[in-house]
Amino acid sequence: MTYNEETAYYRMINHLIAVHDFTFVRANEDLRVCWLERKRNGIVQMVRLTSRTFAWANHLKRDILRAASDIQQMTKGIFAKKVQIHNVYFGDQGPADEWSKLKKPMIIKSRRPIPMQTYYLDRDTYQSEMEKLFRHLKLSDSVSLVSVEEDSEQKLEMEKSRLRSLLVQQQQADQAVFHRKKPLLVYVLIGISLLLFLLEVLLGGSTNSAVLIELGAKYNPLILAENQWWRIITSMFLHIGALHLMTNMLSLYYLGTLTEQVFGHRRFFIVFLLGGVIGGLASFAFSQNLSAGASGAIFGLFGALLYFGTVYPKLFWRTIGNGLIVILLINLVISFAASHVIDVYAHIGGLIGGFASALLVGLPGKKMLIARVGGAVLSLVLIAGLIVYGLLGPVNTALHEGLKAEAAYKQGDYQMVIQHATDALDKGSSDAARLPLFYRGLAYSQTGELEKAIQDYDRLVRLTPEDSAVHYNLARILQLNGQEEESLQHAQRAAELETSNKQYQQLVQELSQ
Q: What whole-number distance in Å separates Cα of residue 102 and Cα of residue 99?
A: 6
Q: What whole-number distance in Å separates Cα of residue 45 and Cα of residue 16?
A: 12
**Quick one: how far is CA 18 from the chain centroid?**
34
CB 272 within 8 A of CB 183: no
The 3-state DSSP class for residue 314 equals helix
Contacts of 133 (CB under 8 A, 6+ apart): 86, 88, 119
Residue 412 corresponds to which amino acid? G
CB 480 within 8 A of CB 448: no
CB 265 within 8 A of CB 185: yes
E strand or H helix at 160: helix 152-178
C-beta neighbour count of 180 within 10 angstroms: 17
E strand or H helix at 51: strand 43-51
Contacts 24+ apart (CB under 8 A), 376-385: 379/274, 379/278, 379/353, 382/278, 382/281, 382/349, 382/352, 382/353, 382/356, 383/277, 383/278, 383/281
Instruction: List the one residue out of 473, 481, 475, 472 whose CA is nearest residue 450.
Output: 481
Instruction: List the one residue out of 112, 62, 59 whose CA is nearest residue 85.
Output: 112
Which segments of 287-393 does DSSP mark as H helices, in order?
295-311, 313-318, 321-337, 344-361, 369-392
- The CB-side HSE value for 301 (13 A sphere, CA atoms) comes to 25
Three-state SS for 110-141 is: CCCCEEEEEEEECCCCHHHHHHHHHHHCCCCC
> Which residues are marked as active site?
295, 347
CB 249 within 8 A of CB 231: no
CB 248 within 8 A of CB 295: yes
Report the first-to-last Cα separation within the chain, whole angstroms: 114
* Angle made by CA atoms 37, 38, 40, in degrees to the nearest 5: 155
Helix-strand-coil split of the chain, %, nearest 5: 65, 10, 25
Q: What whole-number distance in Å separates Cα of residue 276 and Cα of residue 266?
A: 15
